[in-house]
Chain A
Amino acid sequence: MNARAPRVYSTQAIVIGQREFVEAAKIITILTPDIGKQDSVAKGILKPKSRLAGHLEPGTYCDLELAVGKNLDIIREAQTISRFRASQQNLMRLTTLVYVLELVDKYTVDGTGSDLFEPLLVTLKRLDIGENLSAVVHGFELMLLEITGFRPSLNQCVNCLSDVNSVQANWSQDGGGIVCGQCVSLVPNTSLIEPKVLKVLRAYQSWPYEESARITIDSYLEAQLSKIMHGLMKAFAERDIKSADLLEEVSWRKELPEGRVIS
């Protein structure tokens, strides 16, 4: 006799996002360590006495019990493990959290991305503690690209594959890496990459996090790093990543002198 597949299962999950569904229900997009990204239904979540509502906000790490549904699985119970509360109270960290979740959403399709669960969880924890934001976010971007098969080439020319050990190089966003001096005329749309930026990116890509988090980044360098990485993330995702623009705006505003009128 064949064993029947269980109708109800439990899993840990990180809530990636949610959208309106019929009546008081919402579709919750979650990332789980076994299945990866999946859409599930939270019935009655919009009702004031819903026992699910507070546990399924984007960025929440939770325990879920789901029932197998015909099309989408139904969330029966949810219990928050961590809401990363400190991140929710700081604009820069909250915007970064939203950006990281959008990246996971844009780089995965249903049923994939289970190997992103641990890196995402670690990133959310680091954000919450308030560690070096540059190392946390760019480290995650590089890890995400590596896991999804888009590892940027920071030590080899993307055209001729020759080793480039120098930090004097050109950057090709469409090629996804650096271009050596000999190939620069052969690759369209290249631009100079600042030696410091390349040096830091190489460190973020190859050093353990504990070491790369010790690198001190000033606001100018961070702006350059963000520009390069946001461009790369949008190019590989082949669509706009709206929270990247918001993150740049929030970072820029943080640099304004106090009391200046924002228009």
Chain B
Amino acid sequence: MTFGDQEPILGSSNPYGGSSPINRLVSAFHMLPGIGPRSAQRLAYHVLRSPASEAQELANALLDVKENIILCTSCQNLASSSPCSLCDDSGRSQDLLCVVEEPLDVVAIERTGDFKGNYHVLHGVIAPRSGVGPEDLKIEELMNRLRISDNTFKEVIVATNPSTEGEATALYLAQLIHSLDLKVTRLARGLPTGSDVEYADIDTLGRALEFRHEI
């Protein structure tokens, strides 16, 4: 399916017709996650008002990312070379491995500046309802990496989301990794900064109490 095949987003009053370049661009933006029809229209009109050089830069960047981004053979993260800059960094601790769901989770953890170990990206979680099983994730690559590391890693931190699927994936991984005699830990859970105790769900509040710390 091409963008132009979709229903016109601007509706029947759309003066540009279903396959006009503007409508194609709106449809293309609408296909992106988190972009609704109104946001798609705003973005499309922003591009329309921008200088041609900016539009060209955007188009080039889109094509460049599709052509030149690969998966790092070690951590499975998106990178422009393999091994990626994180795996190649000798200053990082070689005995800690953090397993995350998506490449964006690496960015989020790196932003904290508190983690100096290595990463492994699963590219999803076990979600049977969406048809995703363990074989669809980078679990085999993780296990191979742990096996050939010959006990370099002392601890594996499973940093999947605290959702039902994330928990199932974490427990599944823990069972596999324990067979290699490695320590497996899970990210702590508690109240987010700025939240209300009153509105916290009982699971989060219960865990926050369970893992409270002395001040």
Check B168 for interface membership: any CB of A closer than 8 A: yes
B residues near A59, Cβ cutoff 8 Å: 164
A83 x B133 contact (CB < 8 A): no
Binary per-residue interface labels of chain A (38-55) against chain B in the complex, 1 for a CB within 8 Å, 0 otherwise: 000000000011010111
Q: How large is the interface on A (under 10, 10 to 19, 20 to 34, 35 or more residues)?
A: 35 or more
The CA-CA distance from A57 to B201 in the complex, in Å, is 11
Binary per-residue interface labels of chain B (160-202) against chain A in the complex, 1 for a CB within 8 Å, 0 otherwise: 0001110110011011100111000000000010111001111
Which of B13-21, B56-64, B124-132 sits within the interface?
B124-132
Check A186 for interface membership: any CB of B closer than 8 A: no
Check B91 for interface membership: any CB of A closer than 8 A: no
A54 x B129 contact (CB < 8 A): no
A54 x B204 contact (CB < 8 A): yes
B192 x A242 contact (CB < 8 A): no
Closest residue of B by beta carbon distance from A88: B167
Interface SS of chain A: helix, strand, loop or mixed?
Answer: mixed
Partner of A20, one of B33, B175, B203: B33
A22 x B34 contact (CB < 8 A): yes
A246 x B203 contact (CB < 8 A): no
Most chain B CB atoms below 10 A, which of A24, A53, A258, A260:
A53
B171 x A90 contact (CB < 8 A): yes
A94 x B171 contact (CB < 8 A): yes
A94 x B179 contact (CB < 8 A): no
A residues near B39, Cβ cutoff 8 Å: 23
Check B134 for interface membership: any CB of A closer than 8 A: yes
Which of A98-106, A129-137, A166-174, A221-229 sits within the interface?
A98-106
Check B55 for interface membership: any CB of A closer than 8 A: no
B129 x A80 contact (CB < 8 A): no
Check A249 for interface membership: any CB of B closer than 8 A: yes
B residues near A5, Cβ cutoff 8 Å: none
Partner of B126, one of A49, A58, A246, A259: A246
> Smallest CB–CB gap between A109 and chain B, Å?
15
A242 x B128 contact (CB < 8 A): yes
Given A249-B134, A260-B179, does the pair A51, B172 have CB atoms closer than 8 Å? no
Check A261 for interface membership: any CB of B closer than 8 A: yes
> Smallest CB–CB gap between A188 and chain B, Å?
29
B128 x A243 contact (CB < 8 A): yes
Q: How large is the interface on B (under 10, 10 to 19, 20 to 34, 35 or more residues)?
A: 35 or more
B203 x A94 contact (CB < 8 A): no
> Smallest CB–CB gap between A178 and chain B, Å?
29
B168 x A94 contact (CB < 8 A): yes
> Smallest CB–CB gap between B77 and chain A, Å?
22
> Smallest CB–CB gap between B167 and chain A, Å?
5
Check A91 for interface membership: any CB of B closer than 8 A: yes
> Smallest CB–CB gap between A95 and chain B, Å?
6
Check A163 for interface membership: any CB of B closer than 8 A: no
> Smallest CB–CB gap between A41 and chain B, Å?
13
Check A17 for interface membership: any CB of B closer than 8 A: yes
B194 x A49 contact (CB < 8 A): yes
A residues near B168, Cβ cutoff 8 Å: 91, 94-95, 98
B residues near A262, Cβ cutoff 8 Å: 143, 176, 179
15 contacting pairs across A/B (C-beta < 8 A): A22-B34, A49-B195, A57-B163, A57-B164, A58-B163, A80-B202, A94-B168, A95-B168, A102-B128, A105-B129, A243-B128, A245-B128, A245-B133, A249-B134, A258-B179
Binding site for A on B (CB under 8 A): 33-36, 39, 126, 128-134, 143, 147, 163-165, 167-168, 171-172, 174-176, 179-181, 192, 194-196, 199-204, 206
Binding site for B on A (CB under 8 A): 17, 19-20, 22-24, 48-49, 51, 53-55, 57-59, 80, 82-83, 85, 88-91, 94-95, 97-99, 101-102, 105, 240-243, 245-246, 249-250, 253, 256, 258-262
Q: Which 4 residue pairs of A and B lie closest in terms of their CB atoms, listed nearest first?
A: A54-B201, A243-B128, A242-B128, A91-B171
